[in-house]
């Protein structure tokens, strides 16, 4: 199996100002075509150190993939460093110049000398066109068949180039016949240990697909990795195992692969022809943000209110002041009132509310940090749920968000439209 090392270029990465997400994407992409990744590295925008790192990686692996440092500025030196490492000369890519000229003309800008620098490529390199930006990528070859592939740092330019051009090229070059397909089942409201208990025997039996359980905030994923000659075969290996796991875990599985809780909630509500409103205190809009992150949310999600101050809970959501005085803003009673107020004032069929103590201060012995109430109101009434969440402020807020959506999902599943007379 051919191997590769990945190099992320950028001084910002070394300073901790930027989190390296490119390496994770490239690593997953290579796994998907059956290439082994034997090492990942980070290096600053320094010609000598990049050249040394790339040269060393080429001794160990069949190829190196770098991201970043292909731009027009003086600190972009990846290309020069790769030429140094390979002992390669350079050439100007006429097509890349033309593409840049067209792009700049359409934007009414003039092509500068430093942009032309981007069209200089190592001699003999294969060009990877950049559909979303100016800097082309390339694959430079060593005489022994080893390669250095360089892609831009901007994630969406990099992703399109890797998926659309680099992977097919590597598959052809190395005659790769193995692919790994991952199928993920998402669960809500079940502990990792309980999942483990229910499917432990499958774990042990099954080598292909490999099964892994991954705990993740309040949800837990079961991942199935199938390895085969092509996608279809890998999927065929995965399917019966996925069915078996669905049968065993059943009611706790809310979706698969890219489906989020917010996506599933919106989809279920859309099927019912119903709409959703939100009232948030301690999550400050995160529930609404999760919902609006889903494309096409507008036909279901009517809107959300961030009612942080008690006075806002009263004015905007109609929570009676005496209920706040009696039970406190962080209570099942006030959560229920907030949800009902949102449903009434926003005119939705359903509403979800969250109120709690996110911390780090503001906790009392009666209402400690991490105490959160979520309420769900729908056509058949209101339910309030008490949660005791752990973690620092941002985690409490995120967990509360996921939990609120999970509780809503459960009610949607348990209460089919028109199941009960009102
Ligand atoms: P440009 O033409 O924009 O200069 P480039 O190929 O030179 O592209 P860089 O200058 O290294 O790339 O990075 C551009 C931007 O891309 C960075 O500011 C950063 O936002 C993002 N980026 C770069 N490397 C990574 C990475 N490893 N992970 C996530 N984001 C990255
Ligand atoms: Mg740059």
Q: How much of the chain exceeds pLDDT 70, in percent?
A: 99
Q: How much of the chain exceeds pLDDT 90, in percent?
A: 79
Taken as a whole, the chain contains a residue count of 422
pLDDT band for position 102 (cuts 50, 70, 90)? confident
Per-residue pLDDT, 146: 95
**Residue 153 in contact with ligand 1 by CB distance below 6 A:** yes
The pick from 8, 153, 157, 160 for probing ligand 1's pocket by mutation, whose C-beta has the most ligand atoms within 8 angstroms, reads 153
Going by alpha carbons, the residue nearest to atom 15 of ligand 1 is 154
Q: Looking at residues 371-397, what average pLDDT do you find?
A: 96
Q: Is the pLDDT of residue 65 over 80?
A: yes
pLDDT band for position 152 (cuts 50, 70, 90)? very high
Q: Is the pLDDT of residue 112 over 90?
A: no
Per-residue pLDDT, 32: 87
Q: Is the pLDDT of residue 421 over 60?
A: no
pLDDT band for position 134 (cuts 50, 70, 90)? confident
Cβ neighbours of residue 59 closer than 8 Å, sequence gap 6 or more: none
Q: Is the dihedral of CA 329, 334, 339, 343 positive or negative?
A: negative
Q: Looking at residues 149-174, what average pLDDT do you find?
A: 95
Per-residue pLDDT, 419: 55
**Residue 115 in contact with ligand 1 by CB distance below 6 A:** no
**Residue 70 in contact with ligand 1 by CB distance below 6 A:** yes
Q: Is the pLDDT of residue 217 over 80?
A: no
The pick from 154, 158, 161 for probing ligand 1's pocket by mutation, whose C-beta has the most ligand atoms within 8 angstroms, reads 154
pLDDT, tens only, 281-336: 999 999 999 999 999 999 999 999 999 999 999 999 999 999 999 999 999 999 99
Span of 114-123, 157-166, 396-405 with lowest mean pLDDT = 114-123
pLDDT, tens only, 11-46: 999 999 999 999 999 999 999 888 999 999 999 999
Q: Is the pLDDT of residue 420 over 60?
A: no
Point out the ligand 1 atom lying closest to the alpha carbon of residue 151: 6
Going by alpha carbons, the residue nearest to atom 10 of ligand 1 is 69
Per-residue pLDDT, 378: 96
Report pTM.
Answer: 0.77
**Residue 100 in contact with ligand 1 by CB distance below 6 A:** no
266 closest CA partner among 277, 257, 256: 277
Q: Looking at residues 80-104, what average pLDDT do you find?
A: 90
**Residue 135 in contact with ligand 1 by CB distance below 6 A:** yes
Whose atoms come closest to the Cα of 135: which ligand? 1
Per-residue pLDDT, 103: 84
For ligand 1, the distance from its centroid to the CA atom of residue 201, given in whole angstroms, is: 45
Which position has the higher pLDDT, 118 or 53? 53
**Residue 20 in contact with ligand 1 by CB distance below 6 A:** yes
For ligand 1, the distance from its centroid to the CA atom of residue 171, given in whole angstroms, is: 26
Q: Looking at residues 109-129, what average pLDDT do you find?
A: 89
325 closest CA partner among 316, 317, 313: 313
């Amino acid at each position: 199996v051919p191997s590769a090392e990945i190099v992320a270029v950028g001084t910002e990465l070394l300073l901790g100002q930027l989190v390296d997400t490119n390496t994770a994407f490239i690593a997953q992409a290579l796994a998907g075509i059956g290439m082994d990744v034997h090492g990942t590295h980070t290096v600053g925008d320094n010609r000598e150190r990049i050249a040394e790192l790339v040269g060393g990686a080429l001794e160990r692996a069949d190829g190196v993939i770098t991201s970043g440092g292909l731009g027009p500025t003086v600190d972009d030196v990846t290309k020069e460093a790769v030429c140094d490492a390979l002992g390669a000369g350079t050439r100007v890519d006429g097509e890349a110049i033309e593409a840049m000229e067209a792009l700049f003309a359409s934007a009414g800008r003039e092509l500068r000398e430093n942009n032309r620098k981007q069209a200089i490529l190592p001699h003999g390199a294969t060009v990877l066109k950049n559909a979303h930006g100016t800097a082309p990528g390339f694959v430079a070859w060593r005489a022994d068949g080893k390669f250095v592939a360089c892609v831009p740092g901007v994630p969406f330019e990099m992703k399109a180039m890797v998926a659309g051009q680099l992977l097919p090229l590597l598959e052809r070059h190395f005659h790769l016949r193995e692919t790994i397909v991952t199928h993920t089942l998402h669960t809500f409201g079940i502990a990792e240990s309980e999942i483990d208990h229910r499917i432990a025997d499958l774990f042990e039996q099954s080598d292909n697909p490999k099964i892994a359980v991954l705990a993740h905030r309040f949800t837990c994923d079961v991942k199935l990795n199938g390895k085969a000659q092509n996608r279809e075969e890998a999927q065929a290996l995965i399917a019966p195992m996925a069915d078996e796991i669905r049968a065993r875990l059943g009611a706790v599985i809310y979706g698969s692969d890219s489906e989020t809780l917010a996506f599933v909630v919106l989809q279920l509500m859309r099927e019912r022809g119903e709409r959703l409103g939100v009232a948030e205190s301690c999550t400050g809009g995160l529930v609404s943000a999760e919902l609006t992150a889903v494309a096409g949310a507008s036909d279901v999600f009517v809107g959300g209110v961030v009612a942080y101050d008690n006075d806002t809970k009263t004015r905007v959501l109609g929570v009676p002041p005496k209920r706040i005085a009696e039970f406190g803003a962080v209570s099942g009673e006030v959560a229920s009132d907030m949800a009902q107020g949102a449903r009434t004032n926003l005119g939705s069929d359903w509403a979800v509310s969250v109120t709690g103590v996110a911390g780090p201060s503001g906790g009392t012995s009666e209402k400690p940090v991490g105490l959160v109430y979520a309420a769900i109101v729908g056509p058949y009434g209101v339910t309030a749920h008490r949660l005791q969440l752990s973690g620092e402020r941002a985690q409490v807020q995120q967990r509360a968000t996921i939990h609120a959506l999970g509780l809503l999902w459960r009610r949607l599943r348990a209460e089919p439209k028109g199941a009960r007379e009102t």
